[in-house]
Amino acid sequence: MSETKLEAWLDETRTFVPSAAFVAQANADASIYPEAAADPVAWWGRQARERLTWDVVPSQNLEWNSPQATWFADGTLNASVNCVDRHVAGGLGSRVAFHWVGDIDGEAVSITYEDLLARVSRAANALVELGVVAGDRVAIYMPMIPEAVVAMLACARLGAAHSVVFGGFAAEALADRIVDADCHFVITADGGFRRGVATPLKPAVDEALLSCPNVRKVLVVRRTGEKVSWDPQRDVWWHDIVERQSSTHQPESFPAEQVLYVMYTSGTTARPKGILHTTGGYLTQAATTHYYVFDVKPDRDVCWTSADIGWVTGHSYIVYGPLTNGVTQILFEGTPDSGGRDRWWRIIEQYGVTILYTAPTAIRTLMKWGEDIPANFDLSSLRLLGSVGEPINPEAWMWYREHVGGNACPVVDTWWQTETGGIMITPLPGVTATKPGAAMRPFPGISIDVVDGDGISVGNGEGGYLTVTAPWPGMTRGIYGDPERFAETYWTRFPGSYFAGDGAKRDLDGDLWLLGRVDDVMNISGHRLSTTEVEHALVGHPAVAEAAVVGASDETTGQAIVAFVTLKLSHLGDEADQAALVHELRAHVASVISPIARPRQIILTPELPKTRSGKIMRRLLRDVAEQRALGDVTTLTDPTVVAMIDRLMAAHSGDDA
């Protein structure tokens, strides 16, 4: 985002003070900040002991050998017991854990904690029969159906790490992730439904597994009923093996630092990173942040996090945080317009949703469809709104507050990352006065700084790089199979601090505003993708010589992918050929990575702007893509290249959107 835009926001900033009614019932009051700050490690230790059920209560809190942390290391527990069994044992078995709502209108099922325990136990028994043992990695590639959550919890119950791969990823991306984590098992479905249409998943698994020789078994849920190809040695139907298992399973206890899951995310290189999370610290942060940030009342609230379980938001705020806290949730398979553009509002009205957590890109889409649609529904059950995934523009924030929250719900803009495991910067409802577009303050027990290029703290009214200056319980324990890359990526830029890759600004009151990524990571509709990952896919096409990819700002998706491509001599054809080729290249990227990586625009150009040392000047290309005045071009080998690209871009704008 540009500086001038931010200044404009700051000028028009309004502050919303929490209502007396909200303050009176809030889980947090202002004393939480000084309490946590007095001794953050001890504060987290208290959260861990209060919020989780331990088999062996830890005597330790933090061990810190930068950048390696362990939390609560001598404690033992079982994540699935914390999410399910203990609620049933505590007499809450008949509370609904999930109201699952299908993509297809009218398809729904409510699952109590008791049902969930039986389902997780059966699935765990089935995984044991298939040969899964503690320490294994299990890939999960599924639509948003109850079995996806059950599969995650069944793995956790056995001490096997799950690696959930978003169902929108293509076969090659799936294969890369399976191989990198050396998964020996895959749990999938024949397919899922999207806007009423059956979309297959199993064929992508079959294709991926051609290059994954170590996968022994594939467990397949029948969801769509479409015909799938079958390898009888390898493939097992979920209904054949899971349904006949006992509905009880004796859980084992695991050390706090047992790996709970691997989650792949894009960094600045072509290869995605397997971010590792362990059990005790991660669950502590997921549960504590869920409790305070969303002000949850487990006996009353109906929470709805609209993310897919294929992303970290789904892990922390559909599965581990809310289930640890024993709340009731919505699990929705569809998109905001599955069965009509009013679908979300119908769900909120029907189930009395109280807490909604979604992404700015979804809010902007709903906004585009118009406020008349939500106005037709009774949304008065809502009492809190959250946002995550990208900077939220004040217009979207205000629309959310007014037209969804009826001007009565606090809005919490929450900043965090796959690597942080849980929310790090956020207002606390009932405590913090909020500003549209600002994430405001570090969560209690979290230490944040905004620093300049030399690592010096900036003052109020200034911007810089966002860093975390002390370890926190949910922090990633590293990158799967690559400890050096972990230290190098996050801990060397500002020695002793974690560098998030984001820019941030402190306003004149010292409140935090996120400014987007400062590296080559793009954020498309809240999905992280690296520019190199997309470039890599493009140069994998036989026609492409070189590619440079930038994230250009986009009204709805936050950023959109714009690619500048030079062709091999053999592929330089006439205009018509080129239009067809652009089309083909966009489809190629979608098929190699995912439809979310499909470039909005591809500009074919005879040359790319390079510095004398041969580096592609992405900054200039971003200026071109965002139609901004061009920056300094004096370091280029040939300054006329950018002007030429600019002309090409203008001539082709809108061509292939």
Give residues in contact with ligand WTA (CB under 6 A).
265, 311-313, 388-391, 413-418, 439, 500-502, 514, 517, 523, 528
Please give the C-alpha separations between residue 117 and each of 81, 86, 160, 520, 521, in angstroms, as whole numbers: 9, 10, 18, 43, 39
The span from the CA of 610 to the CA of 637, in Å, is: 6
N-to-C CA span, the chain: 22
Judge residue 607's burial from the number of C-beta atoms within 10 Å of its C-beta, 0-12 exposed, 13-18 middle, 19 or more buried.
middle
Based on CB atoms, which residue is closest to ligand WTA, 78 or 530? 530
What's the closest the beta carbon of residue 289 comes to ligand WTA, in angstroms? 12
What's the closest the beta carbon of residue 503 comes to ligand WTA, in angstroms? 9
Based on CB atoms, which residue is closest to ligand WTA, 36 or 388? 388
Based on CB atoms, which residue is closest to ligand WTA, 521 or 544? 521
DSSP 318-340: IIIHHHHTT-EEEEE-S-TTTTS
Residues whose CB is less than 8 angstroms from the CB of residue 239 and which lie 6 or more positions away in sequence, other chains included: 221, 222
What's the closest the beta carbon of residue 205 comes to ligand WTA, in angstroms? 23
What's the closest the beta carbon of residue 347 comes to ligand WTA, in angstroms? 22
What's the closest the beta carbon of residue 425 comes to ligand WTA, in angstroms? 7
Per the CB < 8 A criterion, the answer to whether 204 and 170 are in contact is yes
Secondary structure letter of residue 310 according to DSSP: T
What's the closest the beta carbon of residue 38 comes to ligand WTA, in angstroms? 27
Based on CB atoms, which residue is closest to ligand WTA, 390 or 535? 390
Based on CB atoms, which residue is closest to ligand WTA, 485 or 652? 485
Please give the C-alpha separations between residue 17 and each of 316, 360, 590, in angstroms, as whole numbers: 28, 22, 45
CA angle in degrees (0–180, nearest 5) for 58-64-69: 70
Based on CB atoms, which residue is closest to ligand WTA, 238 or 415? 415
What's the closest the beta carbon of residue 324 comes to ligand WTA, in angstroms? 18
The span from the CA of 461 to the CA of 455, in Å, is: 17
Based on CB atoms, which residue is closest to ligand WTA, 58 or 474? 474
The span from the CA of 405 to the CA of 428, in Å, is: 17
What's the closest the beta carbon of residue 635 comes to ligand WTA, in angstroms? 28
Q: How many CB atoms lie within 10 A of CB 556?
A: 13
- Stretch (H or E) spanning 466: strand 463-468
> Hey, what are 56's tokens?
């062996």
Based on CB atoms, which residue is closest to ligand WTA, 391 or 445? 391
What's the closest the beta carbon of residue 358 comes to ligand WTA, in angstroms? 11
Based on CB atoms, which residue is closest to ligand WTA, 137 or 527? 527
Per the CB < 8 A criterion, the answer to whether 329 and 322 are in contact is yes
